A and B are shown apart, each in its own frame.
Chain A
Amino acid sequence: AAGVIQSPRHLIKEKRETATLKCYPIPRHDTVYWYQQGPGQDPQFLISFYEKMQSDKGSIPDRFSAQQFSDYHSELNMSSLELGDSALYFCASSFSGRGIHEQYFGPGTRLTVT
């Protein structure tokens, strides 16, 4: 079965640079979530999209933005990177027609800011 695809899997950037993370949800899934997991931390909700519209925001810095495109893939754009942005970024997708209740996670993108 198809899973959530994230690219790239690893990314190394320098401070003040920009990074773009991509997420391709499971086909027919209409909701995408982004989570950030710092070293030794639990995943924290950043933002979600339903049918290409932003549906909710969590603790996402103003330097970050995201969108969901017509093909339902999503991109998380991160500017003016800071050392503290080094983390594992997960994308998850779900199908609203089934109610929640099942978010499928991608393998994550490990971002290292030097």
Chain B
Amino acid sequence: AQKVTQAQTEISVVEKEDVTLDCVYETRDTTYYLFWYKQPPSGELVFLIRRNSFDEQNEISGRYSWNFQKSTSSFNFTITASQVVDSAVYFCALSEATQGGSEKLVFGKGTKLTVNP
């Protein structure tokens, strides 16, 4: 079965510091999708990025960047020049095909990021 590991339970940084959130996954599928979601204190799940297993290009979106490495089964997320508004729980997730034909997401335990002013 698929598994997602986010070893960092909590991270605390000072504003403007860079921070990297680690994600390691396990899957037997050759085709799979990886995701990052942000969950602010208000509770909603905010989609950040989706990556398929054939696309190992790193991606940058503003202050966010993602490093996908199949060789190490990692999909790390970096926030540069962090801001207080980045404070949230961040979840890494992996898609898993189900017997019924749909797909479900398997989430890591999440990393709680606190950015202090």
Contact = CB atoms under 8 A, between A and B. Distances in A.
A110 interface: yes
A71 interface: no
B108 to A, nearest CB: 6
A54 interface: yes
For chain A, the bracket of interface size reads 20 to 34
Interface centre among A55, A90, A94, A103 (most CB of B within 10 A): A103
Contacts of B105: 33, 35, 43, 45, 92, 103
Interface in A45-68: 45, 48, 50, 54-56, 58
Given A33-B102, A101-B103, A108-B43, 16 more contacts: A31-B102, A33-B104, A42-B107, A42-B108, A45-B106, A55-B100, A55-B102, A56-B101, A56-B104, A58-B104, A90-B45, A96-B102, A100-B33, A101-B50, A103-B105, A104-B47
Interface of A: 31, 33, 35, 41-45, 48, 50, 54-56, 58, 88, 90, 92, 94, 96, 100-105, 107-108, 110
